[in-house]
Amino acid sequence: MQLPHAVQFPIKFDVPKLQTDLKHIREEDWIRHYRESHYKGDWGIVALRAVHGHPACIYSVPNIAGETVYASTPLLAQCPYFQEVIDFFQCRLSSIRLMRLAAGASILEHTDDMGEGEQAELRIHIPIQTNTDIAFYINHEQIPMQEGEVWFGDFRLPHSVENNSTNDRIHLVIDCVANEWLLTQIEQTKK
């Protein structure tokens, strides 16, 4: 199946509940993104599901056996609605992170390694805190993500983000191993 640049799923999660769970995340839980050449300003990550469940493992590692390597971090246990959102996805999950792009910061154009073959991953973004002054581009097309929406994006393509607002942008980012359920959701949504 040819993947679209981005599609919005026909579901929206409860924004006040997402933002309530976000309040359980302390400032010291945020870890600066490890690829400093990919951004300007402050880009932070909180791991909710990570390699061996370790909250300091903020990176995604495609093409590994997700069920035996990835586990929930202690932070996810503090966020029951995030867990409810995650349970919606009927596919194998690997990395699950909160990503915060600070006010005035930008993510420079880059591509992500999403793996190959049967272990290839697809990335889902669920905005928790955003606004219209944030420009998110995939393959040079602006994607108008709103709070609570569910978006698939093909992050193997060039993508970038500009936070031109005075508020931080925070997304729940879920990496999923492609399966029939997920591919069907994407195929039905793009029609």
Task: Delineate the domains of the chain, giving CATH numbers in brackets.
Answer: 6-189 (2.60.120.330)
In the prediction, which pLDDT does 60 show? 81
Q: Is the pLDDT of residue 65 over 70?
A: no
Tokens (6 digits) for 107: 């993510």
Q: Is the pLDDT of residue 64 over 70?
A: no
* DSSP 8-state symbol, 2: P
Dihedral of alpha carbons 91, 94, 97, 99, sign: negative
Percent of the chain with pLDDT strictly greater than 90? 73
**Which of 12-21, 27-36, 83-92 shows the lowest mean pLDDT across its residues?**
27-36
Mean pLDDT of 118-127: 88
In the prediction, which pLDDT does 176 show? 92
Write out the H or E segment, with its range, that includes residue 76.
helix 74-77
Percent of the chain with pLDDT strictly greater than 70? 94
In the prediction, which pLDDT does 120 show? 79
Residue recorded with tokens 């402050």 = 42
pLDDT by residue (tens digit) across 132-169?
Answer: 999 999 999 999 999 999 999 999 999 999 999 999 99
First-to-last alpha carbon distance for the chain, in angstroms, is: 13
What amino acid occupies position 135?
A
Q: Is the pLDDT of residue 63 over 80?
A: no
Mean pLDDT of 84-90: 97
- Phi/psi for 21 (5° steps) reads -65, -35
Higher pLDDT, 189 or 186: 186
In the prediction, which pLDDT does 162 show? 97
In the prediction, which pLDDT does 102 show? 97
Q: How far apart are CA 81 and CA 72, in angstroms?
A: 14
Residue recorded with tokens 């995030």 = 82
